[in-house]
Chains A and B, each alone.
Chain A
């Protein structure tokens, strides 16, 4: 198995465990605005996905993602199957050459685009998009513009997702079953966005674990000025303020 492949399998197992732990809470969130099946559906789907991932013979990262996506599509049901799973199958193509900071950004962007497209949802509709968009944008900026290490970029993305989940509470649902409630959806946290946050938190935990590193203590809005020591070594890097 490639290192990347093994890392992704470990991440999927961690996500399955986390979603199982949060099953009743997710269902509680969904019972307020939906049909009270999000926790059960996701737990069943991710458990099956972890099994399928474990059964693969020496897989690379792309193969694991594709298998997990297909399993989620088949097992989760409702809109979460095509949104979480279908998008994963589609975006897995970006990991063709393994997991690098660049391919991870491309993967994240493709995943987000697919979810937006398929669900016809935008930020502010009280959906998964509200957690995913700030996470993906923060990750991309941290890697591409601010040139931060991948683990720090991921930690910032998790914080951005957390803010996105909080943002779903005061707004009105425009998509999904909650939208049938109209203004009554205001005041409720979106279960799908909450699942996105749990998934990202587990990706971060597994990444830190495999790198044998501490999870960096950053938030999405923390400054990105390099440490003084790095500054000298990095003197040739373009400074955005010079433009």
Chain B
């Protein structure tokens, strides 16, 4: 089944988002990754690559990202990864929840999960 990676500048934010999305995720693999590797704010491509590998069971991985350099570092990790991985152009928390739900669909594909994540862009709250 399609796996998910949540990338944030903050490791704790990534973990928190995964905690929220996991409620809806069934047995989907959800991997949080974030931080500069030295306890600070940032992202590291190698760590994102490891998370992609951990989330992949052969059906591919949708990557949710927060801002700026997290997007670029995720892009590098996707480029270097052997797994089939794509970045969803979506708000990170709402996209992760949508993707988690979509991934539990037995007919889910990498594209369908990404599409559902990106559908979160139009989500209205009020």
Q: Which positions in A face B, CB cutoff 8 Å?
A: 73-74, 77-79, 81-83, 86, 89-90, 118-119, 176-177
Does the CB pair B68–A82 fall under 8 Å? no
Q: Which of A74, A83, A89 sits near B72, CB closer than 8 Å?
A: A83
Indicate with 1 or 0, residue by residue over B68-81, a CB within 8 angstroms of chain A CB atoms. 11001101100110
CB neighbours (8 Å) of B76 from chain A are 73, 82, 86, 89, 118
Q: What 0/1 readout, one digit per residue, does chain B (41-85) give for beta carbons within 8 Å of chain A?
A: 010111000000000000000000000110011011001100000
Most chain B CB within a 10 A radius of its CB, from A73, A82, A89: A82
Find A74's partner among B45, B69, B75, B79 (CB 8 Å cutoff).
B45
Beta-carbon contact of A90 and B45 below 8 Å: no
Partner of B68, one of A73, A74, A86, A177: A177
Chain A residues whose C-beta falls within 8 Å of the C-beta of B46 in the assembled complex: 73-74
Specify which chain B residues have a CB less than 8 angstroms from the CB of A119 in the assembled complex: 72
Contact B45 A86 (CB under 8 A): yes
Are B36's CB and A77's CB within 8 A? yes
Interface residues of B (CB under 8 A from A): 36-37, 42, 44-46, 68-69, 72-73, 75-76, 79-80
Chain B residues in 8 Å Cβ range of A82: 45, 69, 72-73, 75-76
Q: How far is the CB of B71 from chain A (nearest CB, A)?
A: 9
* Contact residues in B for A79 (Cβ distance below 8 Å): 68-69, 72
**Contact between A89 and B73, CB atoms less than 8 A apart:** no
Chain A positions within 8 Å of B69 at CB level: 77-79, 81-82
Residues of B with C-beta under 8 A to A81: 44-45, 69, 72-73
16 A–B contacts from the bound complex (CB under 8 Å): A74-B37, A74-B44, A77-B44, A78-B42, A79-B68, A79-B69, A82-B45, A82-B73, A82-B76, A86-B72, A86-B75, A86-B76, A86-B79, A89-B76, A118-B72, A118-B76
Bound CA–CA A90/B72 (angstroms) = 14
- CB neighbours of B80 from chain A (8 A): 89
Query: For the complex, what is the distance from the CA of A208 to the CA of B18, rounded to whole Å?
Result: 53
B8 to chain A minimum Cβ distance, whole angstroms, is 15
Determine the distance from Cα of A176 to Cα of B75 in the docked complex, in whole angstroms.
16
Closest-CB distance, A241 to chain B (whole angstroms): 43
Contact residues in A for B44 (Cβ distance below 8 Å)? 73-74, 77, 81
- Give Cα distance in the complex from A118 to B72, angstroms: 6
Q: How far is B72's CA from A177's CA once the two chains are assembled, in angstroms? A: 14
Assembled-state Cα–Cα distance A83/B45 (Å): 12
New contact pairs (11) apart from A73-B73, A89-B80, CB-CB < 8 Å = A73-B44, A74-B45, A74-B46, A77-B36, A78-B42, A79-B68, A81-B45, A81-B72, A82-B73, A176-B68, A177-B68
Distance in Å: Cβ of B104 to nearest Cβ of chain A: 32
Closest CB in chain B relative to A220 CB, distance in Å: 29
Contacts of B79 in A (CB 8 A): 86, 90
Cα distance A89–B80 in the bound complex, in angstroms: 10
Residues in A neighbouring B42, C-beta threshold 8 A: 77-78
CB-CB nearest 7 A-B residue pairs: A82-B72, A86-B76, A79-B69, A77-B42, A82-B76, A73-B45, A78-B69
